[in-house]
Amino acid sequence: MTILVTMSTSERPRRRGRQAEAARNDLRLLAAAREVFTTQGADAPVSAVAERAGVGIASLYRRYGTKEELLQRLTVLAAEQYSEAARAALAVEDPWEGLCHYVRECVAFGPGSLAPIAGTVRFTEEMAEAGRRSDELAEQVVARAHRAGVLRADATTIDVFLVIEQFSRRPPVPTSEDANARERLVALVLDGLRARADNADFPLPGHAPTAERYDELWNAG
């Protein structure tokens, strides 16, 4: 949201009339696309996006030549928003509070549910770059918490990613209670993530997850 507005105002040197309508539609389209695809999944019909935006289908296709293009744009915006959340987290004085904010914000934003596009959309260089930037910032958030000794030592950055990914998966039919439920569950895992004296007695099972998973997810089918 913040990002969308920021970007557009920066490159809108005062338009009027039809051009103003076009500029407005750009924003409404992007916002609608984010909402539709994150709640209904990436195979939601394009028509739903246009409808949600209060815009004709043609107006959508005038901007994005194809559904894939729109999805690619959305993932880049999502990565940038993750980056923004990480920056905000680093601005929080307390390392633990910062990490909590990061996780909560990413989960609330919830575009991890775009993951279903993994196989269906080509991975552009722009997406890769945005992803790298975002990963780097997240790494800083986690590393700082580790240094401060507030995050359990056997939890890695990728564990944090997995938490966010898992909680970004939304129910197919959203209910009014979902947000509350999600909050409680996230609080639960954050509590589990906190460094404690007895951590060594209950170590995380299995082996630390690797980043290769994501290659497998995006590149192969």
Partner DNA sequence: AAAATAACGGAGTGGAGCGCTCCGTTAAAC
Partner DNA sequence: GTTTAACGGAGCGCTCCACTCCGTTATTTT
DSSP 111-158: GGGGGGGGGTS---HHHHHHHHHHHHHHHHHHHHHHHHT-B-TT--HH
Q: How far is the CB of 2 from DNA (least distance, A)?
A: 23
Query: What would the two tokens of residue 205 be?
Result: 């099972």
Q: Does 167 bind a second copy (CB under 8 A)?
A: yes
Chain-centre distance for alpha carbon 130: 12
Q: Does 124 bind DNA (CB under 7 A)?
A: no
Among 27, 80, 144, 192, binds a second copy (CB under 8 A): 192
Q: Does 48 bind a second copy (CB under 8 A)?
A: no
Q: How far is the CB of 167 from a second copy (least distance, A)?
A: 7
Q: Residue 87: CB partners within 8 Å, gap ≥ 6?
A: 137
Q: Does 209 bind a second copy (CB under 8 A)?
A: yes
Q: Does 66 bind DNA (CB under 7 A)?
A: yes
Number of residues this chain uses to bind DNA (CB under 7 A): 24
Q: Residue 193: CB partners within 8 Å, gap ≥ 6?
A: 99, 151, 152, 155, 160, 163
Say if residues 25 and 59 touch (Cβ distance below 8 Å).
Answer: yes
Number of residues this chain uses to bind a second copy (CB under 8 A): 43
Distances (CA, A) of 169 to 8, 107, 208: 29, 9, 22
Q: Does 7 bind a second copy (CB under 8 A)?
A: no
Query: What would the two tokens of residue 199 be?
Result: 């951590």
Could you say which of a second copy, DNA, none residue 17 binds, taking C-beta under 5 to 8 angstroms by partner kind?
A: DNA
Listed ranges 26-34, 65-73, 125-133, 185-193: which one lies at the site for a second copy (CB under 8 A): 185-193
Q: Does 64 bind a second copy (CB under 8 A)?
A: no
Among 23, 118, 148, 195, binds a second copy (CB under 8 A): 118
Say if residues 144 and 100 touch (Cβ distance below 8 Å).
Answer: no
Listed ranges 29-37, 44-52, 81-89, 210-218: which one lies at the site for a second copy (CB under 8 A): 210-218
Listed ranges 62-70, 86-94, 134-142, 163-171: which one lies at the site for DNA (CB under 7 A): 62-70
CA-CA distance, 137 to 85, in Å (whole number)? Answer: 9
Q: Does 54 bind DNA (CB under 7 A)?
A: yes
Residues of this chain that bind DNA (CB under 7 A): 16-19, 21-22, 25, 43-47, 54-59, 61-62, 65-68
